[in-house]
Amino acid sequence: MICTGCSCLCDDIAIRDGKILNACRKGVKLFNVKRAIPMVNSKPSSFEEAIDRAKRIVSTANKLVVFGLDTIPCEAQQKAIELAEAKNAAIDDCSSFCLGDFVELILKGELPTATLEEVRDNAYVIVYWGSNPYQSLPRHMSRFTYYPRSGKRQRGYEEDRYLVVVDVRLSETAKLAKKGGKFIMGNDADVIDSFLKALNGRAGKYPEVAAIIKEMQKADFNVIFGGLGLKYGLRGDYSRFIEMVEKLNEFTRVVFIPAGFHANMRGFNELMYRKTGVVNAYDFSSNERLTFSEAVKKADAALIIGSNPAKSLPSWIAKKLAQIDTIIVDPSQSLTSKIAKVVIPTAISGIDQGGTMVRSDGVSVELKPIREGVTDAEVLSLLMEVV
């Protein structure tokens, strides 16, 4: 089975004797989801009634916003984009406040990249920059980076890997880096500046980066994983970071991969990029960029698919979604399903819903569900009938 708990998309999950094997704590949550039931105006209803009401909302909406989309397969994401286009609606996913920027830089070719298998087989210096995989992507280090003995890195973490963590605080991963590599606790701009200075033979605020560069030069393949800490630390200006990666590549090969996010966030980014030239936050009525937070302010209806914005976004979003006609299409009972006008339960990707998903490094994965439920693509096709 393939786990859709995060963008690692681990493909070695098995169920034996009633136990879930190999899935981390995040992945196991998918198996214990409290399933949603069809609801209209907070009262249980039949599936058909919920669909009917949702169709009515979609067909009469003047300013519809479509949001979520990161936990559903590409086939369903494609349908959602078609629906948004047909309705001249705004569409956005979590990547506009997550790592959409990094995926866009990679798709545009501004940062060199590689696959996670290439990292596993070749990478020596592994940098987690503004990312703490222990909490966000638990198996990332053991499956792909620091611990596997594979390819040219047969001696594993003992001799063939060098772990670097750059963060503003001591994270669990930073604690490991202190033992088997380097931990730089500092502000992102200062660390980037130190790297650039060191590459020119000068010392910046963190002279220890010179040792990291030296280690990088020992090998022919190194990787930087960029996380949310880096994104928010740089406040939208990646020019110096790109310059740093370019300069490093004059001395040795350094690739960049976004650390990780929701299971199929990159799938949505790639579909949107192919269609519109941007990875997210798009308004089909004006053909301009428009984030969910901006779009929801003017929206009269919201179609939330595979997400729980009432819980994970600033609280004013929950208040607004409760005021307008919100439809939620999602497998679980959540804060958003409590405030939505219509609740349409669908399958959990990877368990009772199949399809394609794209891993954090751009590799496509075909899900292997064990059951069949109502798919998000089916529900979206039904809603498309009124558009």
Partner 1 sequence: MLDFSRFIRVEAKVIVARDILNENKGVALVSKEFAGKFGIKEGQTVKLTRNGRTVKLVAKPSEFAEGVDVVIPNDFFASQLVDFDSFKQFTASVELER
Partner 2 sequence: MSFAFKLLTKERKLEECKPLYEPKYAAQRKKLEEMLKVVEKATETGLIVDEEKCVGCANCVVSCPVHAEKDPYGAGMGRGVGLPDPILRIEDGVVRVVNLSLCRRYGENRTLCVVCRENCPNDAISFLED
Binding site for partner 1 (CB under 8 A): 25-26, 97, 132, 135-136, 138, 167-172, 175, 185, 228-229, 232-233, 291, 293, 311-315, 318, 335
Which residues have a Cβ under 8 Å from the Cβ of 165 and sit 6 or more positions away? 127, 128, 129, 171, 173, 174, 176, 177, 181, 182, 183, 184
Q: Is 115 in the site for partner 2 (CB under 8 A)?
A: no
Asked if residue 303 lies in contact with residue 320, where contact means CB atoms within 8 angstroms, the answer is: no
Residue 251: how many other CB atoms lie within 10 Å: 12
Nearest alpha-carbon partner for 244 in 292, 220, 219, 212: 212
CA distances from 22 to 14, 33, 361 (A): 7, 18, 21
By C-beta, is 36 or 184 nearer to partner 1?
184
Distance CA(156)–CA(227), nearest Å, equals 24
Q: Which helix (H) or strand (E) holds 125?
A: strand 125-129
Nearer to partner 1 (CB atom), residue 95 or residue 136: 136
**Residue 269 to residue 15: CA distance in whole angstroms:** 32
Interaction between residue 170 and partner 2 (CB under 8 A):
no
The answer to the question of residue 12 lying near partner 2 (CB under 8 A) is yes
Question: Pick from 2, 6, 9, 13: which binds partner 2 (CB under 8 A)?
Answer: 13
173 touches partner 2 (CB under 8 A) = yes
Residues 279 and 362: beta-carbon distance below 8 Å? no
Binding mask 14-33 for partner 2 (x = CB under 8 A): x----xxxxxxxxxxx----
CB of 150 to partner 2, least distance (A): 5
Q: Which stretch binds partner 2 (CB under 8 A): 138-146, 244-252, 301-309, 339-347?
A: 138-146
Q: What is the DSSP string of 221-278?
A: -EEEEE-HHHHHHHTT--HHHHHHHHHHHHHS-EEEEE---STTHHHHHHHHHHHHSS
150 binds partner 2 (CB under 8 A): yes
Nearer to partner 2, 179 or 235 (CB): 179
Q: Does 141 bind partner 2 (CB under 8 A)?
A: yes
Judge residue 185's burial from the number of C-beta atoms within 10 Å of its C-beta, 0-12 exposed, 13-18 middle, 19 or more buried: middle
- Residue choice 157, 162, 261, 282 for contact with partner 2 (CB under 8 A): 157
| Nearer to partner 2 among residue 34 and residue 235 (C-beta) | 34
Does 301 bind partner 2 (CB under 8 A)? Our answer is no
**293/353 with CB nearer partner 1:** 293
Binding-site partner at residue 249 among partner 1, partner 2, none, CB < 5 to 8 Å by type:
none
Nearer to partner 1, 123 or 228 (CB): 228
User: Which of the choices partner 2, partner 1, none does residue 170 contact, using the CB cut-off of 5 to 8 A by kind?
Assistant: partner 1
Tokens 């997550």 belong to 98
Whichever of 172 and 366 has its CB closer to partner 1, that residue is: 172
- Chosen from partner 1, partner 2, none, partner binding at 148 (C-beta under 5 to 8 Å by type): partner 2
Cα–Cα distance between 149 and 23 in angstroms, integer?
Answer: 20
Pairwise CA distance, residues 199 & 260, whole Å:
28
Region of 376 (left: φ > 0; alpha: ψ -120 to 50; beta: rest) is alpha
Least CB distance to partner 2 at residue 139 (A): 5
- Judged by beta carbon distances under 5 to 8 A according to partner kind, the member of partner 2, partner 1, none in contact with residue 315 is partner 1
Contact 340, 310 (CB under 8 A): no
User: To 5 degrees, how large is the angle CA 45–CA 51–CA 57?
Assistant: 110
Smallest distance, partner 2 to C-beta of residue 173, A: 6
Chain contacts with partner 2 (rule: CB under 8 A): 10, 12-14, 19-29, 120, 133-135, 138-139, 141-144, 146-150, 156-157, 172-173, 175-176, 179
